[in-house]
Chain A
Amino acid sequence: MGVGTESVFKNKFMKKIHTITVISENKPGVLYRIADLFLRRKINVEELHVGKTKNPNISLFTIKIEDHEDVIGKVVKQINKIIEVYEVKYE
């Protein structure tokens, strides 16, 4: 059960565009923290949209990035740690 073999496999074959959606409190600084998590891992953002939802206190982020699924999964978990974030999903 060697650690790593699995992720090496994924890294090699599964780099593709993923869409991350984030629902958060509508407060300054959330975008900054999300952007920083990409910066830390040197991930380039392909597309980004942020806006208020019907509830003006809640924002919706739609972010497209190209990377391996295991990396995206880890970043998504870290986005979920941002205090103001209610929900984050990726596909």
Chain B
Amino acid sequence: MKMSGSKAILESFLKENVKVIFGYPGGAIMPFYDALYHYEKKIRHILVRHEQGASHAAEGYARITGEPGVCVVTSGPGATNLVTGIADAMMDSVPLVCVTGQVAKAYLGTDAFQETDVMGVTAPITKWNYQVTDAFEIADVLAKAFYIARSGRPGPVVVDITKNAQFESCDFRYPKKINLPGYVVPQKGDEIVCKEAAQLINSARKPYVLIGHGVLISKAQAELKQFLEKGGVPAASTLHGLSALPTSHPNYVGMLGMHGNYAPNVLTNEADVIIAVGMRFDDRVTGRLKDYATKAKVIHIDIDPAEMNKNVPVAIELVGDAKLVLREITKHLKRKNRRSWFGEFKSYAKKEYEKVTKKEFAPTTPKVKMAEAIDMLSKKTKGKAVIVADVGQHQMIAARFYRFADTNSYITSGGAGTMGFGVPAAMGAKVAAPKRQVIAVVGDGSFQMTLQELGTIAQEKLPVKIVILNNNYLGMVRQWQQMFFEKRYSFTYLKNPDFIAIAKGFGIKAEKVEKREQVSKALDRMLKSDNPYLLDIAVETEHNVFPMVPTGASVTEIRLE
């Protein structure tokens, strides 16, 4: 069928079952926006306020649906404003398809108005990128883009489309088969190796599962549960693995990493077999590598072969889809309970409760503590909300104290640690899960990086709930300054604006909460509302997040105070 390149982009989106685009128009993408005018009923377009918001919103959308989030922006600054979100998606294996407009083919390389070398800029932070300069390429390239973004280890893809290609006419035929001979997606792991892995686990005294984001990506929650329950294996989660297993599950022992729980970190060095599922041994999880997993043989299950032996030497490599690999291993597992090994986790957990957790809930301070607010939120929502955390102290507190009952319930920026992620990602998550309660938990610093997206939330009438845990500081940096830089608070104090007035300016209901006793009722009002709602909760200003594995320390050197 003959049509313009712009229309071919939209028809390709329909073929890929794209329901929502997060975008922002501009010169080099105008032909596309003109075509979009006639597709309003078929595809929802959400006009963000800054392209970074589009990329994070698309991430939030992708994290809920498992399908690529789609962004469309113009050339030059439109594309470069997407870069932070693309880098974030690359680090956290989030599927995105970003279409960027580009100057016409004849102008490429001439420093034309709003020309940026988008291919060069995005190559290091994309799974794949491609520049389309002729309309006939569009269908084929977009088919590849969606396939690459969502398959294997997901990631962001950029398709840069010149303006002439959007105008030109082409014969639209969407490919049924994708020809990518260099791209092989591992499926199930080697059966013999799976059996070896099971034997190693069967003979282990202290096996230990590390749950990563890959469990959620491959939708392996049920297989993980069967594995753990049959094998009698305790499991801890990385930041992105949270909610793959309900917090209340008897085999769940807590969170790993720098601000994870005490037992999961310390006992990493007691385990004799570690089964890492869909995780990549990030430095925030391992601490000092030389003293990590000191007694363990490591079984690494991951779909990305480049992760094998990257940071941690692996005894058994299982490259494949976590769901299929876990199912295969479970077949050969012996039923065990390993009570004394679980007992070790319990005794460390008790110590953490005494030294850290108890203090978080002792109301000795005039202002509420972050943990109290998150705990209330957790109880009031019965652990069923989608928590979208920004980056900082509030992120770690939300991860530690929200008790996840449902899966796919903790969305945050992990690998990149992108401040400003929270509000736009929550927006995207709400679009993807309109029936779920979606709550952005943000800090006063991170909120100010992308707060213009309140405009998008208001225009689209997205009932996103926003909780600012406001300590008037860049809290995590301030904590490090206190602990490691002799309390020199170098540029971490924030003179904040009136967030309530700002929200009201956008037409969003907002409340300031300054006293402990007001928190509960305010949360009730927020949760009951059918509209977007913002709570600015003043929290303890110089509070530190513990436990903590300081940078460069071993997981056993975790500090409780």
Contacts and interface: CB of A to CB of B under 8 A. Distances in A.
B297 to A, nearest CB: 7
A3 B310 contact: no
B471 to A, nearest CB: 36
B310 A74 contact: yes
Contact of A81 (B290, B291, B306): B306
B129 A29 contact: yes
Contacts of A5: 290
Contact of A32 (B120, B180, B309, B312): B120
Interface string B57-98: 000000000000000000000000000000000000000000
Contacts of B289: 3-4
B119 A83 contact: no
Interface residues of B, number: 31
A51 B225 CA distance: 51
B182 A24 contact: yes
A29 B160 CA distance: 13
B16 to A, nearest CB: 18
Contacts of A24: 182
A1 B304 contact: no
B58 to A, nearest CB: 21
A80 B313 contact: no
A74 B180 contact: no
B295 interface: yes
Interface residues of A, number: 24
Given A1-B296, A78-B306, A6 B313 contact: yes
Contacts of A36: 123-124
Contacts of B120: 32
Contacts of B148: 83
A85 interface: yes
A1 B297 contact: yes
B299 to A, nearest CB: 14
Interface string A29-47: 1001100100010000000
A83 B182 contact: yes
A90 interface: no
Interface string B210-249: 0000000000000000000000000000000000000000
B291 A2 contact: yes
Given A1-B294, A1-B296, A29-B123, A77 B305 contact: yes
A90 B291 CA distance: 30
A6 B312 CA distance: 11
Nearest to A35: B123
B145 to A, nearest CB: 10
A23 to B, nearest CB: 9
Given A4-B290, A29-B129, A33-B123, A83 B306 contact: no
Contacts of B180: 83
Nearest to B152: A81
A83 B123 contact: no
Interface in B171-192: 180-183
Contacts of B308: 77
6 contacts: A2-B291, A2-B294, A3-B312, A24-B182, A80-B305, A86-B182
Cβ-closest 10 pairs across A and B: A77-B306, A4-B290, A86-B182, A83-B128, A36-B124, A83-B183, A3-B289, A85-B182, A4-B289, A78-B306
Interface of A: 1-6, 24-25, 29, 32-33, 36, 40, 73-74, 77-78, 80-86
Interface of B: 119-120, 123-124, 127-130, 148, 180-183, 289-297, 304-306, 308-313
Given A4-B289, A36-B123, A40-B124, 19 more contacts: A1-B295, A2-B290, A2-B291, A3-B290, A3-B292, A24-B182, A25-B181, A29-B119, A32-B123, A74-B306, A74-B310, A77-B305, A77-B306, A80-B306, A83-B127, A83-B182, A83-B183, A85-B182, A86-B182
